[in-house]
Amino acid sequence: MPRTHLPPRPFIATAGLTTLILFSSGIYSIDALADTSPAPVKNGVSQVKITMTEDNDGTCVLDHSVAKAGPVTFSVTNKTATSITEVELQSNNRILGEKENLAPGLPTVSFTLTLDGGAYQIYCPGAKQEMVNFKVTGKSAARPTGSTASILAVGTKGYATYVNGVVDDMKTAVDRLKTDIDAGDLDKAKTDYPQARPFYERVESDVDGFVLPGFKATDNAGNLDYLIDMRASNLDPKVGWHGFHAIERDLFQNGKITDETKQLAAELQANVIKLDNVVKSLNYKPEDLANGAADLLEEVQSTKINGEEEAFSHYDLVDFAGNVEGAQQAFAFLQPGMEKIDPDLTKQVNAQFAAVHTLLETYRDPSVPGGYKLYTDQLKASDATKLSKSIQALQEPLSKISEKVATAGKEHKL
C-alpha cells in the first residue's frame, strides 16, 4: 500500500523490478555528511547505513555515499524522524528499490540490490534535503552462472508466472465487483469486495513503483499503486481518492451505490487492466523476490494489524493472509537455491511461515466473505500484539535472504 506525502513522493516505473529505497520520514541533511570512501564490503556485499533523525527539520544521512558495483545492502534506521517514513533509490527517474513505514524507534531494516556503476539518488520525502547523491563505481560482475545461480534464475521465471496469474485472477474478480456495482446490487458487491482484495495484497510489493506513460514520477495521478490501493489516511489532495478503498467507503460506510461509485469501479477495472499488461513485461532478480517478501510482511505490520487497511469493511485479516501468501510464494521460488546456500536458514523461514499459518487458521470463519473473521476493534485490542509477534518472528530470518541470493554462485558453484 502506498504512502503519500506533501509534496507527494515520486513513484517511478521500473522495467525489471529491483528494489527501491524510499525514506519518507526524513531524508538526509547534506551530501557532505557522508564518507566518500567506498562502503565497507562484508561477504562480498557493500554495506551502507542510512540514519533518519528529526535534526535540522528532518535528515536522512548515509555513512558512505560511494559503493563498489555489485550487491549493496542498505540498512535503514529511523532514530527520531517523524516526518520521514520512507526511502527510495532512484536512477534516471526510475525507482529501483524502496522501504516504507519506517516509524521512529523500530528495528533497523535492510534490503539488497545489485547495482552497476553510475549516479544514483536516495530520495527521502519529508526531509529538509529530500534528494541525496549516491555513486556506484566500477562495473558489476556478470551474474553468477553456477548451479545455484541457475536454480535461482529458474525460480525467478516461475515467480513471474505466479505474479501474472495472480493479476489475471484479480482482473476477473474486479470485473465481477464492477458488474455488481453497475447493477446496483449492494449486498452482492459487499460480498464480492473481499473476494477481490487478496490478489493485489499478494503482489503489491512487485508493482508499487509503476507510473503510467506521460506522468512524472512525483505525480500520484499516474501511479498505479496509488490509483488502485490508496487508503483514506494518506490521500494526495491534488489527486483525490481512487481505487478499492474509495469503493469500500461507499459500500460499507455510506451503504449505497451512487453514480460516483460506478465511476470508481470503472476506473479501478481500467487500472487493473493496465496493471495486468505491465506485469507481463517484468523480469526479476532473486533479490527482488527476497526484498518483495520482506516488504509484504512490513505491510502486515504497518497497515493490517492496526486495522488501517480495511477501515470500513474490517476485512483486514483477508489482506493479512494475502500478504503472507505472497511472501511465502516469493520465498518458495527461491527455496531450491536457498537449500543449497543455507539449508538451516531455509528451515527457519519455513518453520516461521508454518507458525504464522497455524495462527491464521484460528481466525478462519467460512461464514464470512473472504473466509476470515472481521477484524473488529475488540479483536484488534485482544490479538494485535500476538499477531505482530508472529510476523516479527518470521521477519527476522527472512531479512537475511536477500544478501545470500544476491551473491549466490560465488561460493556455491559445483
pLDDT given for residue 20 in this prediction: 39
Q: Where are the beta strands (DSSP E) in 116-267?
A: 118-123, 131-137
Q: What distance in Å separates the CA atoms of residue 208 and residue 224, rounded to the nearest whole number? A: 7
Where in the chain is CATH 2.60.40.420?
31-137
pLDDT given for residue 95 in this prediction: 62
Where in the chain is CATH 1.20.1420.20?
167-279, 286-406
Q: What distance in Å separates the CA atoms of residue 65 and residue 125, rounded to the nearest whole number? A: 18
Q: What distance in Å separates the CA atoms of residue 111 and residue 320, rounded to the nearest whole number? A: 22
pLDDT given for residue 143 in this prediction: 61
pLDDT given for residue 31 in this prediction: 59
DSSP assigned state of 22: B
At 414, is the pLDDT very low, low, confident or very high (cuts 50, 70, 90)?
very low
- Domain 167-279 listed as CATH 1.20.1420.20: yes
Least confident interval from 8-17, 71-80, 145-154, 338-347? 8-17
Q: Looking at the domain 31-137, which fold is it?
A: Immunoglobulin-like (2.60.40)
Q: What distance in Å separates the CA atoms of residue 244 and residue 193, rounded to the nearest whole number? A: 8
C-alpha angle 233/93/275, rounded to 5°? 60
pLDDT given for residue 410 in this prediction: 61
Q: State if pTM tops 0.85.
A: no
At 140, is the pLDDT very low, low, confident or very high (cuts 50, 70, 90)?
low
**316 with 310: CB under 8 angstroms?**
yes
pLDDT given for residue 83 in this prediction: 81
What dihedral angle (degrees, nearest 10) is formed by the CA atoms of 154, 156, 160, 163? Answer: 130
What dihedral angle (degrees, nearest 10) is formed by the CA atoms of 316, 318, 323, 325? Answer: 160
C-alpha angle 53/55/56, rounded to 5°? 135
Q: Looking at the domain 286-406, which fold is it?
A: A middle domain of Talin 1 (1.20.1420)
Q: What is the pLDDT of residues 277-312, one digit of tens each?
A: 989 989 999 999 999 999 999 999 999 999 999 999
What dihedral angle (degrees, nearest 10) is formed by the CA atoms of 123, 209, 84, 237? Answer: 110
Least confident interval from 10-24, 165-179, 190-204, 329-343? 10-24
Q: Supply 115's cell numbers.
A: 547495482
